[in-house]
Amino acid sequence: MSTNFAAGSFQATHSPSSITITRPDDWHLHLRDGNMLGMTVPATARTFHRAVIMPNLVPPVTTVELALAYRERIMAAVPTDMTFDPRMALYLTQDTTAETVRAAAQESHVIGFKLYPAGATTNSAAGVRSVADMAPVLEVMQEEGVPLLVHGEVTEPEIDIFDREKVFIDRYLQPITEKFPRLKVVLEHITTKDAADFVAAAHDGVAATLTPQHILMNRNDLLVGGVHVHNYCLPVLKRRTHQEALQKAAMSGNPKFFLGTDSAPHVREKKETACGCAGCFSAFTAIELYAQAFAAGNALDKLEGFASHFGADFYGIPRNQDTITLHAETWQAPTIVEHGGETWVPYWAGRDIHWRVAV
């Protein structure tokens, strides 16, 4: 069996006809809000038991009270035949207080704070303007055992977009991990060899999530033959050498690297305009695409750790007790998804997928 990717390929010499793994979790997810929850929540809950819910709504989810209210809206959208346990991230701002951190530490449904540099991605205008000035809050987070989840990019216009992750690591993240050695840090949706190497070498409290699009694609898949808007995400896809480094990290069995889809839906009419709208909506195909990548890398035996064990272990949460089974079966990802009078184009739309979750 072989899997070919648009900008290159790596070959699998063998794989089983099915694989059963502990039910996975998604440690980085955008569900949005309102009407969209009726579509996004079931799409994730069909395979993932827990998910870390990103707080970049408008207005942002900055307090425990707002997070719990958002969680109630999410739980109202969970189908009666599914179970789902959303863990809420709070939006870190320049005005976040020590009291808010301590309140978050006491709430089991809140998992940490998300650092968005202001202007780095969708709905990040309220994000952190000066990382250096956050030191007092980070000190309290370290004391209270509250993890820091990081969108690791600088936003200065003079920095090349393909270099922004590395510059952020060198300028900000390395000093943070040195100054706060007991602070748990997750570098989200890593996209470069630089990020993979940094996480691997950092102290044990530093980890990273990896998305399906950054494992399966590189910037050729975004730019060759025209701009492919449904492959556009932030941080942007990088060159093939970085993609290969991410594949190696994900399939290494290193518990510092675990699954986070960064599934991020935008309605078709906004995604296919000059707006761009960064985000790949992978919830309908995510675990199947991870399985496809791991099978192609002769690493299916590493999928369970990456998808189901390492994230829970890092956050100190018990592993799930139930399982899912994937079969080696070719099917086609949906070309569109419709809900409530709106339309989305999911990631991998209309393309073959070679693994499918048993129903």
Residues 270-304 have pLDDT tens digits of 999 887 799 999 999 999 999 999 999 999 999 99
> Does the residue 13 lie in any domain?
no
Q: Categorize the per-residue pLDDT at 15 as very low, low, confident or very high, splitting at 50, 70 and 90.
A: confident
| 262 assigned to active site | yes
Q: Which residue has the tokens 């569900």?
A: 31
Q: Is 266 annotated as a binding residue?
A: yes
Q: If we measure between CA atoms, which residue out of 253, 349, 240 comes closest to residue 299? A: 253
Task: Specify the pLDDT at position 9.
Answer: 41
Task: Assign 2 a pLDDT band (cuts: 50, 70, 90).
Answer: very low
Strand partners, 338: 343
The number of folded domains in the chain is: 1
262 known ligand binder: yes
* Res 1: pLDDT: 26
Average pLDDT over residues 42-69: 97
Residue 93 belongs to a domain: yes
Residue 331: phi and psi, rounded to 5, are -145, 170
Q: Which of the four pLDDT bands, split at 50, 70 and 90, describes residue 359? A: confident
Quote the DSSP letter at residue 281: -
Q: Is 66 exposed, middle or buried (0-12, 13-18, 19+ CB in 10 A)?
A: middle
**Residue 11: inside a domain:** no
pTM: 0.94
Rounded Cα distance between 50 and 89, Å, is 13
Q: pLDDT > 70: what percent of the chain?
A: 96
In the predicted model, is pLDDT for residue 343 greater than 70?
Answer: yes
Residue 60 CA to residue 207 CA, distance in Å, equals 25
Q: Given the DSSP bridges, would you call strands 18-22 and 323-332 parallel, antiparallel or unpaired?
A: antiparallel
Range of the domain at 37: 18-357
Mean pLDDT of 27-33: 98
Q: In this predicted structure, what is the pLDDT of residue 7?
A: 36
Instruction: Give the pair of three-digit tokens for residue 163.
Output: 């270099």
117 vs 177, residue with greater confidence: 177
Upper half-sphere CA count for residue 122 (Cβ side, 13 Å): 25
Q: What is the pLDDT of residue 187?
A: 98
Residue 337 pLDDT > 60, yes or no?
Answer: yes
Amino acid 14: pLDDT: 62
**pLDDT at residue 127, as a whole number:** 84
Amino acid 123: pLDDT: 65
Annotated ligand binding at 151? The verdict is yes
Residue 3: pLDDT over 60: no
Sheet holding 50-53, edge to edge: 26-29, 50-53, 85-92, 110-115, 148-150, 185-187, 206-210, 257-259
Question: Hey, what are 117's tokens?
Answer: 């540099």
- Min mean pLDDT across 7-16, 90-99, 145-154 is at 7-16
Does 2 map to a domain? no
Q: Coil, strand, or helix at residue 325? A: strand
Determine if residue 230 is labeled as part of a ligand binding site: no
* Residue 6 is assigned to a structural domain of this protein: no
- With a CB cutoff of 8 Å and minimum separation 6, the contacts of 315 are 27, 87, 111, 147, 184
pLDDT per position as a tens digit, 168-208: 999 999 999 999 999 999 999 999 999 999 999 999 999 99
CA distance 313 to 93: 28
CA 269 to each of CA 122, 176, 278, 342, 345: distance values in angstroms, whole numbers, following the listed order: 16, 40, 13, 9, 10
* Distant-in-sequence, close-in-space partners of 111: CB < 8 Å, separation ≥ 6: 52, 87, 88, 89, 147, 315
Q: What pLDDT score was predicted for residue 139?
A: 98
> Residue 205 in contact with residue 185, Cβ under 8 Å?
yes
CA pseudo-torsion sign 353, 295, 42, 110: negative
Q: Domain holding 95: CATH number?
A: 3.20.20.140
| CB-based contact 154:115 (threshold 8 Å) | no
User: pLDDT-derived band of residue 8, with 50, 70 and 90 as boundaries?
Assistant: very low
Residue 11 has pLDDT above 80, yes or no: no
Q: Report the alpha-carbon distance of residue 106 to residue 124 in Å, rounded.
A: 26
Residue 30 marked as a ligand binder: yes
Q: Tell me, yes or no, whether 113 lies in a domain.
A: yes
Q: Answer yes or no: is 259 within a domain.
A: yes
- Mean local confidence (pLDDT), 335-348: 97
Q: Work out the average pLDDT over 234-248.
A: 98
For residues 114 and 30, give the distance between their C-alpha atoms in angstroms, rounded to a whole number: 12
56 is in an annotated binding site: yes
Q: Could you tell me which residue, 214 or 14, shows the higher pLDDT?
A: 214
State the pLDDT at residue 348.
Answer: 98
User: Of 204, 262, 301, 313, which residue is the catalytic one?
Assistant: 262
Q: Is the pLDDT of residue 48 over 60?
A: yes
Is 206 inside any structural domain? yes
